[in-house]
Amino acid sequence: MTTNTLIALVDGSAYAESVCHHAAWIAGRNDWTVKIYHVMGRRDAVEKQDLSGAIRLGARTALLEQLSELDATRAKLAHEHGRAILEDAKAIIEGDGKVAVETRLRQGDLVETITAKEETGDMIVIGKRGEAAGLAMEHLGSNLERIVRASHKPVFIANRAFKPVERVLVAFDGGASSLKAIDYIARSPLFSGLKVTLVFAGKDTSDLKKSLSDAAATLKAGGFEAETLVQPGEPEKVLAQVTSEGAHDLLVMGAYGHSRVRSFIIGSTTTEMLRSCRVPVLIMR
């Protein structure tokens, strides 16, 4: 069941603006509503604490009251900060076009929140790195892989800088998840008018040629004249190389399929791939 809704996850990181621009681009092409979520960690909204037990340690009552008031002030500021992030995100998305936007401020674990709410959306957009991560190549958002593993919806991973998407690279291995990605591209208005290239990492065989031909035929039925590319080597290395050449603006790949791609999507190589990939990545289930 489709909801015509995109879930965008924003925080205070440098990637939040890119998430907003990508969300506006995706929602605009699909005619979707955007629901922006900012999820505060449990420690970001600490309730007023009962510190009376500390009196036995000789602490002064006045000091305990001040500490308690300080906790309440911090909780209030955390909520105001969260609302400010949401309002800024909403303004960016609305500024990119005529897109309906709703905001949601939640408290708790991010992955638990998204798992509970993902049925209300058709896709999730998240930044490659969160506000707790540095901007260096070796740092990734701590929740990114958890969301990719847990979500049953397509996950769009935004890189730091937004760039209009014109050319799409599709990681193809003939497995169920990559075939689903092909079908999704052929049917979705998100990809309408974009140039599509299918890339296979491995040995060129007659079976592969047939699989690629069938996939290209599916895309042609959807209005695409897809190019095909076969490169020897391991998937993560081939994809990293091809995307680094700058000829494509988005990488689409399947996840959790029974193939060689599966092992690197859900394993440690996923992290290496996302670290090295300089374009946004759309991961399909």
Query: Over the stretch 177-211, which tens digit does the pLDDT of each residue have?
Result: 889 999 999 999 999 999 999 999 888 889 989 99
Q: What is the pTM of this model?
A: 0.84
Q: pLDDT band at 44, cuts 50/70/90?
A: low
Per-residue pLDDT at 273 = 66
Question: Taking 90 as the threshold, does the pLDDT of residue 43 lie above it?
Answer: no
Q: Give Cα 282 to chain centroid, integer Å.
A: 7
Using a 10 angstrom Cβ sphere, with 0-12 exposed, 13-18 middle and 19 or more buried, the burial of residue 150 is middle
Please name the CATH architecture into which domain 5-44+78-155 falls: 3-Layer(aba) Sandwich (3.40)
Q: pLDDT band at 265, cuts 50/70/90?
A: very low
Question: Taking 70 as the threshold, does the pLDDT of residue 259 lie above it?
Answer: no
**Residue, of 206 and 235, whose pLDDT is higher:** 206
- CATH of the structural domain 164-284, one choice from 3.30.2320.50, 3.40.50.150, 3.40.50.620, 2.40.50.100: 3.40.50.620
Instruction: Look up residue 53 and give its amino acid.
Output: G
Question: Taking 70 as the threshold, does the pLDDT of residue 271 lie above it?
Answer: no
Using a 10 angstrom Cβ sphere, with 0-12 exposed, 13-18 middle and 19 or more buried, the burial of residue 2 is exposed
Q: Which residues does 37 contact at the CB level (< 8 Å), separation at least 6?
A: 7, 8, 9, 10, 104, 106, 113, 114, 117
| Identical topology for domains 5-44+78-155 and 164-284 | yes
Question: Taking 90 as the threshold, does the pLDDT of residue 70 lie above it?
Answer: no
User: Average pLDDT, stretch 21-43?
Assistant: 93
Domain range summary for the chain, segments of one domain joined by +: 5-44+78-155, 164-284
**Residue, of 254 and 110, whose pLDDT is higher:** 110
Report which of 141, 189, 131, 152 is spatially closest to residue 7, judged by C-alpha positions. Answer: 152
State the Cα–Cα distance between residues 169 and 110, nearest whole angstrom.
29
State the Cα–Cα distance between residues 28 and 58, nearest whole angstrom.
62
State the Cα–Cα distance between residues 181 and 29, nearest whole angstrom.
18
The helix/strand/coil state of 139 is coil
The helix/strand/coil state of 208 is helix
